[in-house]
Each structure stands twice: as C-alpha cells, then as structure tokens.
Amino acid sequence: MEKDWKQGNGGGFFPPYSSGKDRRVLAEVTGGMAMSETECRLCSKRLNRWDRRLSKTLAYKQPLCEACIAAEYDMEKKALRARMERYFDIRPCQGI
C-alpha cells in the first residue's frame, strides 16, 4: 500500500489508482466498507445500506443519514420514505 494517499473530505483514504490488489487491501483495512461511507458527515452516525442508497439517489457527493436528509428537506423520516417510494419507487427493507 502506498503511504501518500490523499485524505478525502469524508476522512477516508483512497488510493491514487484502483487495481484488484488495492481493493482487496483496502477492504481488509476498512472491514469491507469504504471508510468515507461508514458514517454521516453531519452527525457521525453509522450509515446503513438504506442511508447510502438514499444519498446516492439524491446525488449527494458525501452520504448522509436518513435523519439528516429529512432535516435538510424539513420532513419527517416517514414522509421522506413515502416520497422516495412515490417518486423514485425505492423503499428500505422491512427491518429498518
């Protein structure tokens, strides 16, 4: 692994290029998850797949948790989920 990786805005470190070996090493270091996607940049809450999927759908450059996204749009989490289902036809799994 190279030591001169640049630190991203989310606090994670990313290799200058991506090869299979680099991805395997990065997966071992981060526990299989990219470091910049492990926590919300506003409240530092650990993100789940729904949070990352919601952030990606809304084109956030750095993912946020559902609560922070709902607060940004002045909505409750339940209303945000209903709107995402109505307009984008996405919904979280039943366990969330």
Stated pTM of the model = 0.58
29 and 12 share one domain: yes
32 and 15 share one domain: yes
16 and 54 share one domain: no
- Per-residue pLDDT reduced to its tens digit, 21-42: 665 665 565 555 444 447 898 9
Residue 78 maps to a domain:
yes
15 and 46 share one domain: no
63 and 75 share one domain: yes
Tokens of 1: 């692994």
Range of the domain at 62: 40-88
What pLDDT does 95 receive? 62
Instruction: Provide CB contacts within 8 A for 69, sequence distance 6+.
Output: 54, 55, 58, 60, 80
Residue 76 maps to a domain:
yes
44 and 79 share one domain: yes
